[in-house]
Amino acid sequence: MNKRDRSELFARYVGLALKGRIITQGKTAKAVATEMQRSPAAFNRWLNGKVEIPLSVFAEACEVIDVEPHTIVEDAYSRLCLEHGERDGTMHPEDSSEDYSYPGEHESNVIVGGFGQNASTEEIPENVEEEWAGLYAAQKKGVEPEEHTP
């Protein structure tokens, strides 16, 4: 891995570590973004590592959730070193590394309904076909949607 790739991955891990800290404190990204007067959509892109988080936004978010920024940076850099080795290429033994994913990092299994402030999310159950049978249905164009709530 070259230095640029490593740096970009580190920046992604910083966003993910911040997201994990927000979640473990019982807050939501939307609430933190609102308190910071930032776009929740942009804030989520920063937290999920889609776009590198600006340093000023990172520092402000840390103050909002009352956490020292260096702790998040240290967590992110530790993960980088555990997963991809030290700068000199030294790798950590596999048995010494742990799952270094952050809370909320693997939330790709989520359905988002609604738009903007009306958006809501639902975890997709393992047996989705059984649990949601008849709850969600496509409608023909021009036909009023039916109520599918149990």
Give tens-digit pLDDT for 79-106.
998 888 887 777 766 544 455 565 666 5
d(CA 136, CA 129): 10
Task: Please report, for the chain, the start and end positions of each structural domain, with discontinuous segments joined by +.
Answer: 3-96
33-58: string of b/e by CB count within 10 Å (b at 16+)? beeeeeebeebbebbbbeebbeeebb
**CATH 1.10.260.40 is right for the domain spanning 3-96:** yes
pLDDT at residue 108, rounded to an integer: 44
pLDDT average, residue stretch 119-129:
53
Residue-wise pLDDT for 10-60, tens only, equals 999 999 999 999 999 999 999 999 999 999 999 999 999 899 999 999 999
pLDDT at residue 139, rounded to an integer: 42
